[in-house]
Amino acid sequence: MNNMKRDFLLILTLFATLSCTKVTPEKRIETIYNYFDNENTTALSTLETVSNNYPARMSGSQNNSDAIDYFTLILGNDIKVDNIWYQDVTVPHWLPGENSVSCKLSDGTTHGITAVPVGLSVGTDGNDLTANIVEVTSREAFDKANVKGKIVLFNEPMTAENGYGKARWQRTQGAALAGAKGAVAVLVRSMTTLTNDDPHTGSTRYDSTGVQIPAMAISTQAADKLSEELKKDGRLKVTINSTAKRLEDTIGRNLVAEIVGKKTPEHIILLSAHLDSWFNSQGAQDNAASCVTAVEVLRAFKKLKIKPNNTIRILLYQDEECFLSGMKEYAKIAKEKNEEYLFDLEMDSGAGGPKSFRLAEKDIFFPKIKEITDQYLTPYGIEEITQVEERKGWPLSDSMKIPYYGYVSNTDHYFDIHHSSSDNFDKIDPAAFKKGIATVTAFVYLMD
Ligand SMILES: [Zn+2]
């Protein structure tokens, strides 16, 4: 579907939603928020079950597969959606293994360093790897540093101002870059603004240089301490022992489910959320909360007897954390089938309650969507609709020009727990979580 046609469709459907229904949009939206406020208990219990029973849902793992089965049961037996199906996806199969990192000072004293392996990292085959440390706190410093035969400590802090996007290269690129310059391993300061002893993992990529050396994420506290020790004792040594390893790729499943539209069933509104998580937590906010949100939107449409004009489809996909392979596979199939989409609403920002929607393209319909969401959703906490540059590298946008919209939660505390052992159900604020689902439901209702 070309953009003009899609815009025309959106105008038509919005006009239908806002003008021709017996229930006013205000009333309908109030009903949606009330439903999530009062009646709905399934959102929280579903999230609790996924978090507690199927933690560490890494791509290719049994827990990941079991979580898919659990969501299938809910969608089929409880919600009774119209269609459910799977898509097989080739996913990386990586095992974190057993890991230890320790520091030995020149005077012979030793202490442990709290660390977790970085996702996709090679290990040391269970052997001790010992070397001196070179600390770098910026890309420029790294480019100038002599790292040959050393372990590089990437210690550029993530700050509130610069954020995750600025610091992340150290984890995603550090090992490949350092390996190419002759380093033997890397330690990466955790991507968080908190100072504590809880390390944050995440993926690394070797493909920029092809050189594979071990990468461990260390806690911010451990990074500060090691940095202090290095200033006094430049000859200290660090020992890494890790059995992390990547096995042959395996097959995972995308889960797709939908309620078919009554007027224009061939037009799809897609809600997408990745199902995979890291090995060191329940992955409650990243990203079980978004998966449950997608499922509960369908449940709300059924429970509140809202018959959508367009098909409302949800996609719980594999392997966002490393290669986005689940989304790539979905996009490939969508293109083959020549499917028509109004937009894809991607959800991956935790459960901190509604903040904004992000429209990642120069959408001529942006002012209208902004007007409508300002009118109907601002009273419920949506602060702004932001229009950002087209999202590059998003498979559905790249291959089919499907507009990418993002649902954005309040992320004030998201990076305190993101990819760490604290991303568990006990950190979920039930009211904020449910208000977020109500907001996504209301947005979909308004756009339908
Ligand atoms: Zn995520």
Mean pLDDT score, 57-69: 97
143 C-alpha to center of ligand 1: Å? 30
- pLDDT at residue 386 in the model: 81
48 C-alpha to center of ligand 1: Å? 18
Domains 3-93+248-447 and 97-243 are alike in CATH topology: no
441 C-alpha to center of ligand 1: Å? 20
Distance, C-alpha 390 to centroid of its chain: 19
d(CA 209, CA 284): 34
321 C-alpha to center of ligand 1: Å? 7
- pLDDT at residue 26 in the model: 94
414 C-alpha to center of ligand 1: Å? 11
320 C-alpha to center of ligand 1: Å? 7
419 C-alpha to center of ligand 1: Å? 9
3-class DSSP state of 65: helix
289 C-alpha to center of ligand 1: Å? 10
Q: Which two tokens stand for residue 281?
A: 């937590």
- Of these ranges, 319-328, 372-381, 399-408, the one predicted with the greatest mean pLDDT is 319-328
Sequence ranges of the domains in the chain: 3-93+248-447, 97-243
61 C-alpha to center of ligand 1: Å? 17
pLDDT at 203 over 80: yes
- pLDDT at residue 9 in the model: 59
- pLDDT at residue 372 in the model: 87
3-class DSSP state of 245: strand
Residue among 368, 367, 325, 369 nearest 345 (CA):
369
184 C-alpha to center of ligand 1: Å? 30
Mean pLDDT score, 99-123: 98
d(CA 167, CA 159): 8
120 C-alpha to center of ligand 1: Å? 16
- pLDDT at residue 5 in the model: 59
Mean pLDDT score, 271-275: 98
Mean pLDDT score, 313-342: 97
Question: Which residues have CB under 8 Å from 196's CB, separation 6+?
Answer: 219, 220, 221
- pLDDT at residue 398 in the model: 87
- pLDDT at residue 17 in the model: 54
pLDDT band at 431; cut points 50, 70, 90: very high
184 or 207, which is more confident: 184
pLDDT at 256 over 90: yes
pLDDT band at 11; cut points 50, 70, 90: low
pTM of the shown model = 0.93
pLDDT at 14 over 80: no
422 C-alpha to center of ligand 1: Å? 15
d(CA 418, CA 294): 20
Q: Supply the DSSP string of 114-154, one letter for each residue.
A: -EEEPBT----TT--EEEEEEEE-SHHHHHH---TTSEEEE
Residue among 63, 76, 42, 118 nearest 318 (CA):
63
pLDDT band at 21; cut points 50, 70, 90: low
151 C-alpha to center of ligand 1: Å? 29
Q: For domain 97-243, which CATH number applies: 3.50.30.30, 3.30.1340.30, 3.40.50.1980, 3.20.20.80?
A: 3.50.30.30
3-class DSSP state of 92: strand
- Of these ranges, 286-300, 396-410, 411-425, the one predicted with the greatest mean pLDDT is 286-300
3-class DSSP state of 407: strand
- pLDDT at residue 388 in the model: 78
276 C-alpha to center of ligand 1: Å? 8
Q: What is the torsion angle, in degrees rounded to the nearest 10, for the CA atoms of residue 429, residue 430, residue 431 and residue 434?
A: 120
Mean model confidence pLDDT for the chain: 93
Cα distances (Å, whole numbers) of residue 147 to 184, 296, 349: 9, 51, 36
319 C-alpha to center of ligand 1: Å? 10
| % of the chain exceeding 70 in pLDDT | 95
Residue among 107, 288, 25 nearest 296 (CA):
288
132 C-alpha to center of ligand 1: Å? 34
Q: Which two tokens stand for residue 356?
A: 């904004």
- pLDDT at residue 231 in the model: 97
305 C-alpha to center of ligand 1: Å? 31
278 C-alpha to center of ligand 1: Å? 9
CATH superfamily of 3-93+248-447: Zn peptidases (3.40.630.10)
